[in-house]
Homo-oligomer: A and B are copies of this chain.
Amino acid sequence: MPLSPEQQAEIDAERAAPRETLRATAPGMERHLYTAIPVLDHGFVRVVDYMGDDAAICQAARVSYGRGTKSVSNDEGLIRYLMRHWHSTPFEMCEIKLHVKLPIFVARQWIRHRTANVNEYSARYSILDREFYVPEPEHLAAQSALNHQGRGETLSGAEADRVLRILRDDAGSAYDHYAEMISTEGQQGLARELARMNLPANIYTQWYWKVDLHNLLHFLRLRADTHAQYEIRVYADAICDLVRDWVPAAYAAFEDYRLGGAQLSGKGMDCIRRMLKGEAVTQESSGMSKGEWREFQALLDGPSA
């Protein structure tokens, strides 16, 4: 249960008091504001604020004075054109601010996307809560034998039990010792900035994360991908749902041109042209390495294959 009654009360208070504004509003996003969308066992994503909507993308692309008299279908066509031709600046004109609760090992992947603003809960200043990520049994995967940074089959039986017990016990014991070290009962009490070093990477932290739509879509493209680690992908998936409701036209273009699309090499395009002329191209005649050819075949087979 990620939120305390006090935290829920603060959220409810925010949602209870609509204000008047002259700014652009996105009705689909207003519905989500402040609500904590659960992710993993103790995490969440909450929209704290947003700026702009589909029309704001077009307004900036046109450097116009008002919202424009153009029809919605014109706006959709323009947005598709901008996405297709890699025009990034109009999408940068929308911004979103999220409050995210996430395990530290996920936070460490996330922060590698540098073009964003971050305020993280400080474990120098404050005491972290006793909350740790422990995977559901169905997400307890073995190391992939093929892919050095991937997962294989799900662990089963005694091995799965042992892993879950280790993760739970070690986290609990590390936290007990953390609490014991910082305690000032009958002792000086270790500095918080030092005691935190005993805590494992599955403890939860939280941050405010603010990013523009262009950079958010780039993040989603990499992290909502099937190659991303499951534990960050579920956050990306939750954010995809928010973005779809916020800027539906931009999200639809993103789905078609990025998530559902493919980047083909010169060699790949050449193979396709030869295949369409009836040639039976093989890996040998393609000029690709075995790894590239395998990825190319997977693309031609399509997502359902």
- By a beta-carbon cutoff of 8 Å, the part of chain A in contact with chain B is 3, 6-7, 9-11, 13-15, 17-25, 30, 33-34, 48-52, 56, 59-61, 63-68, 77, 80-81, 84, 86, 89-90, 92-93, 95, 97, 99, 103-105, 108, 111-112, 114-115, 117-122, 124-126, 133, 135, 140-144, 148-153, 155-156, 159, 162-163, 166-167, 170-171, 173-174, 177, 180-182, 184, 187-194, 196-202, 206-208, 210, 212, 222, 229, 255-257, 259-270, 272-273, 275-276, 289, 291-292, 295, 299-300, 302
Contact = CB atoms under 8 A, between A and B. Distances in A.
A148 B188 CA distance: 15
Given A99-B63, A255-B266, A266-B255, A152 B191 contact: yes
B142 A190 contact: yes
Nearest to A34: B22
Nearest to A273: B302
Contact of A289 (B77, B90, B187): B77
B149 A119 contact: no
A119 B63 contact: yes
Given A23-B21, A163-B181, A200-B174, A193 B149 contact: yes
Given A7-B66, A10-B66, A151-B194, 16 more contacts: A11-B65, A21-B25, A24-B49, A84-B295, A93-B119, A135-B194, A155-B190, A159-B187, A196-B201, A200-B201, A255-B266, A261-B265, A261-B268, A263-B264, A273-B302, A276-B276
A75 to B, nearest CB: 14
A230 B179 CA distance: 22
Q: Tell me the dominant secondary structure on chain A's binding face.
A: mixed
Nearest to A187: B159
Given A197-B133, A210-B92, A255-B266, A163 B148 contact: no
A90 B193 CA distance: 21
A13 B212 CA distance: 27
A111 B107 CA distance: 11
A120 B63 contact: yes
A206 B60 CA distance: 11
Contacts of A22: 14-15, 17-19, 30, 33-34
Nearest to A126: B148
15 contacts: A15-B22, A20-B30, A21-B30, A63-B121, A124-B229, A126-B148, A142-B190, A142-B191, A198-B202, A257-B266, A261-B265, A262-B264, A263-B264, A264-B264, A269-B302
A10 B149 contact: no
